[in-house]
Structure 1
Amino acid sequence: MVCVILAAGKNLRLNLGQPKSALTVGGQSLMERHIDQFQKIGVTDFAVITGFHKPALEEICEDLRKKYDANITTIYNEKYELENGYSLYAAKDWVHELGDEEFFFTMADHYYEEAFLNDLKTKLIFDKGAYLKLAVDVPGDHNEHIDLDDVTKVDAEDYINRIGKEIEGYNYYDTGLFYVKKDVFDVLDHIATNQKLSISNLVTHLSDQKKARVIEVVGYYWNDIDTPEDFKSSQEHLALKASE
């Protein structure tokens, strides 16, 4: 199995002079946590897409290669100041060279508890012509820590109808974890000719074609670590788990 980790951004809202993926939660950097947790569900090959913090990320990945029995490749996205779809697109040749038909992609600053990924692994089968499956959560008490102004909302009934931070009438939160067919690179080629190359535009385009579906992964802790409050919440979650 294959995973692309998008880590090219500048960290404008949580700028500590280092990539957010270097932040430590429970004794592991967020980047190490991704390698550790995804490896446990069968991922053997990782591509880390670098950008603004390229040297620091390459150093982190070099250390992780020594610690984990996994193939970890760094790929530089020279267009890191543009939409996040360019980071995904940077992995195109790498994914094709590996030959896998399907792969995960996620953001380096996201945090998922282990049970979240274990549940997700049981639900990865593609059917009904989908190119993309997005892990989603249902709003509730278990995820009240999520920033409603920042989280991407999803309106879906198996297939995704609409996605965006400002939409109304949504029934899911986007958790930032995707499982896709490599055909998405052809879609990105098409989008790049007339739209901003964002992940949301990719999902919207596939939704219009009934090729984007959701995977419900409900009841587990996850977070998008964009602010000091998000970071504190994730630290508190791990501390609570450790005390149980």
Structure 2
Amino acid sequence: MVCVILAAGKNLRLNLGLPKSALTVGGQSLMERHIDQFQKIGVTDFAVITGFHRPALEEICDDIRSKYNANITTIYNDKYELENGYSLYAAKDWVRELGEEEFFFTMADHYYEEAFLEDLKGKLIFDQGAYLKLAVDVPGEHNGHIDLEDVTKVDADDYISRIGKEIEGYNYYDTGLFYVKKNVFDVLDHIATNQKLSISNLVTHLAAEKKARVIEVVGYYWNDIDTPEDFKSSQDHLALRAAK
């Protein structure tokens, strides 16, 4: 298995002068945590998509390679000022050269507890023509830390109907972790000709063709670390687990 990690952004809401993936939680940077946790579920190769913080990210990846004996390729997205779909698209040649039919992708500033990924791993089988599966969580007390104004919402009944930050009548949260077929690059080619190349537009396009489905991963801690409050929440979560 392989994983693409999107890390090209500027970190406008949590700008500490370094990539958010360099922030340390429980003694590991977020990037290191991704490599460590995904290796544990069988991922062997990683592509880290760099952009605004390219030199710092390349240095971080060099350190992680030696520590985890990990196959990490850094790929520069020179369109990092634009939509996040350009970062995913930058991995097209890498995925195809590896000969992979399916792959994970996620964002470098997301945090997942280990049990979340272990649960997800057992639910990855594609069927009925889907190109994309999105890990989703059900709103509840267990994820009360999630920023409702910022989280992407999903309306789905197995197949995704709608996705967006401002939709009404949703039943899931988008956790930011995707498992997709390489066919998504052909879809990105199509989208780029007539609309913004965002991940949400990709999902919306596939949803209209009944090619986007959800994977329920419920009851675990995860977070999108966009603000100091998000960062503290993730630190507190690990501290609480360590105390137990």
> Shorter-chain TM-score: which interval?
over 0.9
Letter in 1 for 2:192: A
TM-score (norm. length: structure 2): 1.00
Q: Distance in 1 between matches of 2:65 and 2:233?
A: 29
Letter in 2 for 1:28: Q
Letter in 2 for 1:196: K
Letter in 1 for 2:43: V
Counterpart in 2 of 1:51?
Answer: 51
Letter in 1 for 2:111: Y
Counterpart in 1 of 2:151?
Answer: 151
Letter in 2 for 1:48: V
Q: Distance in 1 between matches of 2:29 and 2:122?
A: 26
Letter in 1 for 2:152: T
> Cα deviations across residues 75-120 of structure 1 (Å, max 9, x unaligned)?
0000000000000000000000000100000000000000000000
CA displacement at 1:69 relative to structure 2: 2.2
Residues 89-238 of structure 1 mapped to structure 2, 5 A cutoff:
89-238=89-238
Q: Distance in 2 between matches of 1:195 and 1:237?
A: 39
Letter in 1 for 2:190: H
SS of the counterpart of 1:179? Answer: strand
Letter in 1 for 2:9: G
1:28 aligns with 2:28: yes
SS of the counterpart of 1:79? Answer: coil
Q: Distance in 1 between matches of 2:114 and 2:133?
A: 19
Letter in 1 for 2:48: V
Sequence identity percentage: 90
1:37 aligns with 2:37: yes
RMSD between superposed Cα atoms in Å = 0.3
CA displacement at 1:184 relative to structure 2: 0.1
Letter in 1 for 2:240: L
Q: Distance in 2 between matches of 1:112 and 1:63?
A: 21
SS of the counterpart of 1:126? Answer: coil
Q: Distance in 2 between matches of 1:187 and 1:106?
A: 18
Letter in 1 for 2:5: I
> Cα deviations across residues 196-240 of structure 1 (Å, max 9, x unaligned)?
000000000000000000000000000000000000000000000
TM-score (norm. length: structure 1): 1.00
Letter in 1 for 2:34: H
What count of residue pairs does the alignment treat as equivalent?
244
Q: Distance in 2 between matches of 1:228 and 1:69?
A: 31
CA displacement at 1:70 relative to structure 2: 1.8
Counterpart in 1 of 2:61?
Answer: 61
Counterpart in 2 of 1:19?
Answer: 19
Gaps of 5+ in 1: none
Letter in 1 for 2:170: Y
Q: Distance in 2 between matches of 1:238 and 1:184?
A: 35
> Cα deviations across residues 9-61 of structure 1 (Å, max 9, x unaligned)?
00000000000000000000000000000000000000000000000000000
SS of the counterpart of 1:142? Answer: helix
SS of the counterpart of 1:213? Answer: strand
Q: Distance in 2 between matches of 1:241 and 1:45?
A: 29
